[in-house]
Amino acid sequence: MLSERRLQVLRAIVQDYVGTEEPVGSKALTERHNLGVSPATVRNDMAVLEDEGFIAQPHTSAGRIPTDKGYRLFVDKLAGVKPMTAPERRAIQNFLDGAVDLDDVVARTVRLLAQLTRQVAVVQYPSLTRSTVRHVELLSLAPARVMLVLITDTGRVEQRMVDCPAPFGEASLADLRARLNSRVAGRRFADVPQLVEDLPEGFDVEDRGTVSTVLSTLLETLVEENEERLMIGGTANLTRFGHDFPLTIRPVLEALEEQVVLLKLLGEAGDSGMTVRIGHENAYEGLNSTSVVSVGYGSGGEAVAKLGVVGPTRMDYPGTMGAVRAVARYVGQILAES
């Protein structure tokens, strides 16, 4: 176990490095933080911290920088979550309150997060499978052509075209619409498959094919692959990283373009509470020099999706965590109201 002072030294190193972006030496440390001991003592502590793997030197005769392990300890034990100030909270609320629909909420959230944290923001759309059905609408566009529109309690809307095997009358359509809604309205999407399983049986033989087609299209839209969407923003903040660019920024941009990667990233994060994944803790290689701070958000107590930011491992963790938490909270409120 590390002594109290050594932890303080580590904390000081992280804070200074995050601020200056430069390796920090023993002398500078004692000057900026009054640790009450001499540089020599700090050097000894640093040697220990280095042995333990919490810090490293880029080369002999340079200062130390925290390792991923060092950041991990910092986040877990040494730093709290810095709460937003009252004006900041007010600004968040005002900004989000102006949204007109779900797309707008998500877009605003992304911008907000990016601005607050000065990093790349990622916001997942509310998951379909974890939402409840508000309404299913069926529209007849042509005798054998139906449009299926799904609306969730979080305001998300999905639509699909369905080509029917046989013409389908207006009356049958109204019938199907009514029966479908009475079964699934207000229920969780995850339960829909069981709820509609035996629905075709109540219909005339000639309509059953169409009913089944409609239902299977409905179920398809719930498949994981289609259901997850997300929005990102603040990529311009990547240019603040370091000045060793292309190598750093390239794989990050690539990762951000691959929604699959991002979704996996968010998926791996814990389901409740805030998750911080530091450097190599991220499975995806391109993100090995970045940290991801994410948290679930939802209209009720339950999380319907996640949001977070991606930034350099050298980031202001307390501030970032505070911003992420605050934004998630307000987005949840907004969704609950709509």
Crossing angle of helices 86-97/102-117, nearest 10°? 150
Tell me how far apart the alpha carbons of residues 293 and 276 are, in angstroms, rounded to a whole number. 5
Piece of 36-44, 130-138, 233-241, 259-267 that binds DNA (CB under 7 A): 36-44
Tell me how far apart the alpha carbons of residues 303 and 297 are, in angstroms, rounded to a whole number. 5
Tell me how far apart the alpha carbons of residues 331 and 125 are, in angstroms, rounded to a whole number. 11
Query: What is the per-residue binding string for DNA in 12-31, x denoting contact by CB under 7 A?
Result: -----------xxxxxx---
158 contacts a second copy (rule: CB under 8 A): yes
Piece of 51-59, 80-88, 137-145, 297-305 that binds a second copy (CB under 8 A): 137-145
Closest CA to 46 of 7, 17, 77, 19: 7
Closest CA to 212 of 221, 222, 201, 223: 201
Using CB under 8 A, which of 31, 97, 101, 197 touches a second copy?
Answer: 101
Nearer to DNA, 87 or 246 (CB): 246
Instruction: Tell which phi-psi region holds residue 133, choosing left (phi > 0), alpha (psi between -120 and 50) or beta.
Output: beta
233 contacts a second copy (rule: CB under 8 A): yes
What is the token pair recorded at 137? 């609408």
Using CB under 7 A, which of 19, 40, 104, 302 touches DNA?
Answer: 40
Cβ-in-10-Å burial (0-12, 13-18, 19+) of 321 comes to buried
Piece of 5-13, 244-252, 274-282, 292-300 that binds a second copy (CB under 8 A): 244-252
Which of DNA, a second copy, none is residue 292 near (CB under 5 to 8 Å by kind)? none
Which of DNA, a second copy, none is residue 37 near (CB under 5 to 8 Å by kind)? DNA
47 contacts DNA (rule: CB under 7 A): yes
Nearer to a second copy, 209 or 286 (CB): 286
88 contacts DNA (rule: CB under 7 A): no
Which of a second copy, DNA, none is residue 50 near (CB under 5 to 8 Å by kind)? DNA
- Helix ranges (DSSP H) in 221-304: 224-227, 245-257, 259-268
| Neighbouring residues of 242: CB distance < 8 A, sequence distance ≥ 6 | 21, 248, 312
Q: What is the nearest approach in angstroms of DNA to the Cβ of residue 11?
A: 16
31 contacts a second copy (rule: CB under 8 A): no
Which of DNA, a second copy, none is residue 194 near (CB under 5 to 8 Å by kind)? none
62 contacts DNA (rule: CB under 7 A): yes
Tell me how far apart the alpha carbons of residues 267 and 222 are, in angstroms, rounded to a whole number. 17
Give the count of residues interacting with a second copy (CB under 8 A).
36
Q: What is the nearest approach in angstroms of DNA to the Cβ of residue 126?
A: 47
Closest CA to 279 of 21, 70, 121, 81: 70
Tell me how far apart the alpha carbons of residues 19 and 99 are, in angstroms, rounded to a whole number. 35
Using CB under 8 A, which of 226, 260, 270, 300 touches a second copy?
Answer: 226
What is the token pair recorded at 186? 């207000």
Which of DNA, a second copy, none is residue 43 near (CB under 5 to 8 Å by kind)? DNA
- Cβ neighbours of 133 (radius 10 Å): 22
Piece of 59-67, 115-123, 142-150, 242-250 that binds DNA (CB under 7 A): 59-67
Which residues of the chain form contacts with a second copy (CB under 8 A)? 100-101, 103, 134-135, 137, 139, 141, 147, 149, 151, 155, 157-161, 220, 226, 229, 233-236, 238-239, 243, 245-246, 249-250, 253-254, 256-257, 338
